[in-house]
Amino acid sequence: MQSNVPPQAFADLLSGATRTALHLEMRDVYAVDYESGPFADWRQGFRHNPADRDSWWRPWLDLVEETVARGVTVRRARIVSEPVSEYTRFLYDGTFTNVAAGEQVRWLPRRQASDIALPGNDFWLFDEQVVRWNHFSGEGASQGGAVTKDPAAAKLCSDAFEAVWERAVPHDQYEIH
């Protein structure tokens, strides 16, 4: 059974994880504001200073750090087209913040994922049992999400994530193309 979940409930799902939280991202662009905000700032040359943690630490990173401190493994895999999109470059430049919070992050060039059975949407998988689907418009705007505890969906997501993870390159070794 699937249920729609308000965005604030995501923190509850992550806080409830006891072993693993896996995130698979498969889009080259997510909704961005080209006029203002972090992506616009990045496009104009702004880069976070890794030594100035106070300037880039966010509530999201607190949640990840707390989750990892509880013994939960948090892994994120990104399937990306190469050459990468401008938005993927933006994500890449800021990923050191995720790693600093304790996430393990890997990148997989899309052409190396051709023979992997992948779900139709990005997802989070908690403790190999609860799937939180992320729904997006064609332009990348969030359309909310849905949660399922369907064992077949959880297995599909687990198998897909592990296949991607096995082939993907750790963040500190991935070179933008």
- pLDDT of 141 strictly over 90: no
Q: List the one residue out of 91, 66, 78 whose CA is nearest residue 14.
A: 66
Average pLDDT rounded to a whole number, residues 123-151? 92
Q: What pLDDT band is residue 10 in, cutting at 50, 70 and 90?
A: confident
Which range, of 35-49, 92-106, 110-124, averages the lowest pLDDT?
A: 35-49
Q: Determine the average pLDDT of the residues in 32-50.
A: 91
Q: How confident is the model at residue 5 (pLDDT cuts 50, 70, 90)?
A: low
Average pLDDT over residues 70-92: 97
> Hey, which CATH number is domain 2-173, 3.40.50.970, 3.30.870.10, 3.20.10.10, 3.10.20.90?
3.30.870.10
- Helix, strand, coil distribution of the chain in percent, nearest 5: 40, 25, 35
Flag whether pLDDT at 1 surpasses 50: no
What's the pLDDT score for residue 96? 96
Q: What is the mean pLDDT of residues 38-60?
A: 91
User: Taking a C-beta distance cutoff of 8 angstroms, is the pair 102, 65 a contact?
Assistant: yes
Q: Is the per-residue pLDDT at 7 higher than 80?
A: no
**By three-state DSSP, how is residue 24 classified?**
strand
